[in-house]
Amino acid sequence: MNKMNFNDLNFVPFVSVDHMMKIILELGVENILTGIAGYIEEDFKRWELFDKTPRVASHSAEGVIELMPTSDGQVYGFKYVNGHPKNTKDGLQTVTAFGVLSDVNTGYPVLLSEMTILTALRTAAMSALVAKHLMPKNSQTMAMIGNGAQSEFQALAFKAIAGISKLRLYDIDPSATDRCAKNLAGLGFDIVKCNSEQMSVEGADIITTVTADKQYATILTDNMVGSSVHINAIGGDCPGKTELHRDILLRSKIFVEYPPQTRIEGEIQQLDKDYPVTELWQVMKGDIVGRDNDKQITLFDSVGFAIEDFSALRFIRDQLEKTGQYQNLDMLADPDDPRDLFGMVLRAAEPQSAKEA
């Protein structure tokens, strides 16, 4: 096991994909989801301390590449992430990511981590955390429309954090539904595989939409959604990409992470720019009531925000000493004299015996 020394500035702890998988297997998926959700809620309760900006996005016809930065004044963090729906056809992930934490006082990075898997975990943790605050009382059943790479993480998060035990699965690709149901078999769910969106939402307390196509889509039409439900809309996450009919939004109490970003990327890009929404940090702090009554439709218009990634990276960093799942990267130049960087390069050519002398 590696010995964690956060005061050693010569090396940067790096969590690879292999390390991340081993951390998950050692600690357990549901424990990690619950842990990340706790860190997110803790950070949302100190929302005012953070730098906040919409993510910096570079859009193309095929997808988007984004940087998501934030800082609480002591630690700076950012995530690099892409979203390319066409990748699936080429056997590639639609989303890949990595993230960094740095010490604000020195500017030195203190963690570099894969975030393809970690983003799936934090997205699921955030979804279930929000549902815990907004879903109807005694909710047990979730419809999940879109059974791709995010689906199992969502299901397990809702089980661990929100107490969901019944799943109604639908995807336009039946093999995706079969794979999801197979992966979740024996993990405590009552699973129904459905043959349409309409069938999946029947009797559901929570509806999760998590589709990948970059287009104005109508995964849910207004007639499909009755009262007394919570909608977890996580597929619409960039300009020109939505999942819900506009009329559903007009019937719902809408909750968002950061309005300046969500108005550009979320379902509410379909609405007027001043349409009222509720910020989730205010609900988590107890400043604003979430669900007003059991008959209401609540809608989490999820696009993902940098503070959630910051929280997930903090959580992983705090597990490294326990698990030892990381390696030290020689990323930072460390000359004997900070002003003599070129001299350090020259000395690299010296024979080892001269260096030791």
Q: Which residue has the tokens 């699936």?
A: 88
Collapsing DSSP to helix, strand or coil, 171 comes out as coil
Q: Which residue has the tokens 């809620």?
A: 41
**What tokens were used for 135?**
């879903």
- The DSSP letter of residue 238 is B
Provide the pLDDT for residue 4: 45
Task: Tell me how many degrees the CA angle 56-134-296 measures, rounded to the nearest 5.
Answer: 115
Helices (H), 205-295: 246-250, 259-265, 280-285
Collapsing DSSP to helix, strand or coil, 125 comes out as helix
Provide the pLDDT for residue 9: 66
Residues facing 328 on adjacent strands:
13
Collapsing DSSP to helix, strand or coil, 208 comes out as strand
CB atoms within 10 A of CB 62: 12
pLDDT in tens, 94-128: 889 999 999 999 999 999 999 999 999 999 999 99
CA-only gyration radius of the chain, Å: 22
237 catalytic per annotation: yes
Provide the pLDDT for residue 352: 66
Question: How far is the C-alpha of 199 from the C-alpha of 143, rounded, in Å?
Answer: 9
The DSSP H or E segment spanning 301 is strand 297-301
* Active-site entry in 237, 274, 292, 309: 237
Residue 228 near residue 201 (C-beta atoms within 8 A): no
Please name which of 121, 152, 136, 166 lies closest in space to residue 31, comparing C-alpha atoms: 121
Show the domains of the chain with their CATH numbers: 12-117+308-352 (3.30.1780.10), 126-304 (3.40.50.720)
pLDDT tens for the chain, 357 residues: list them: 344 454 566 799 999 999 999 999 999 999 999 999 999 999 999 999 999 999 999 989 888 899 999 999 999 999 999 988 889 889 998 889 999 999 999 999 999 999 999 999 999 999 999 999 999 999 999 999 999 999 999 999 999 999 999 999 999 999 999 999 999 999 999 999 999 999 999 999 999 999 866 666 788 999 999 999 999 999 866 677 788 999 999 999 999 999 999 999 899 999 999 999 999 999 999 999 999 999 999 999 999 999 999 999 999 999 999 999 999 999 999 998 999 999 999 989 887 655 565
